[in-house]
Amino acid sequence: MVYIITDKNKKKLSEYVIELEDVWKSYDVGDTVVNALSGLTLKVKRGDFLAVMGPSGSGKSTSMNMIGCLDVPTKGKILLEEMDISKLHESDLAQIRGQKIGFIFQKFNLIPTLTAKENIMLPMTFQGISQDAREKKATELLKLVELEDRGDHTPGELSGGQQQRVAIARALANDPEVILADEPTGNLDTKTGKIVMDYLRKLHETEKKTIILVTHDENVAKTADRVEYLKDGKIMKDKTRT
């Protein structure tokens, strides 16, 4: 079990930061019901480095949406730090996402008109953090990903690997419990992809972040400590690395 010590008391936390219990996601396509998820059950411990693998159509994107509080299930339960988020409204989900989960996307999703530093500061703006605090944190994060000399450059002035490192720094802006990376090396060459995965590994080991990696690439998945294999919308097997 994991504990948090506060000045007032000692609070006992669940061993798991995210739990999906028999989660289904169904869509009506004409007269047919299509199940993108078919009873997905998954538990993620605090401090896990987990890779979710599967071929196209296996439900990876839908499972990422569930884990990342981007969508709610048709049925089943999703617990985030023991709070059931299965039936929350979008405004509540958005607030939870901003505080608890940092996202890293395949296509970087940086705003092209903002500098690297401004892109990193943006998530903090939505949490009401002061300008001075945002600038200080962004500077620290640029140093963490070894881009302190590129903070004033826009995404178009950065290489693909540099853009993804800015995206990693942005994901850390609000100090989230979980980093959710969706095909983070998909737009990168092999060498640059390895550099990005090394940064994720570093986050896991030095910052103690829980990292969930969604990928179809076996080589990328090897970075993780545990691999779950997804097929037809549910977990088929898992493999814990030693």
The tens digit of pLDDT for each residue in 34-90 reads: 999 999 999 999 999 999 998 888 999 899 989 998 888 999 999 988 888 887 888
C-beta separation of 166 from 145 below 8 A: yes
* Pairwise pLDDT comparison (11 vs 95), residue with the higher score: 95
Taking the alpha carbons at both ends of the chain, their separation in whole angstroms is 21
Closest CA to 38 of 215, 216, 231: 231
Class of domain 48-72+89-240: alpha beta
pTM for the model: 0.84
pLDDT at 8: 44
What secondary structure letter does DSSP report for 157?
G
Query: Who contacts 73 (Cβ-Cβ below 8 Å, separation ≥6)?
Result: 23, 24, 25, 37, 66, 86
* Pairwise pLDDT comparison (227 vs 92), residue with the higher score: 227
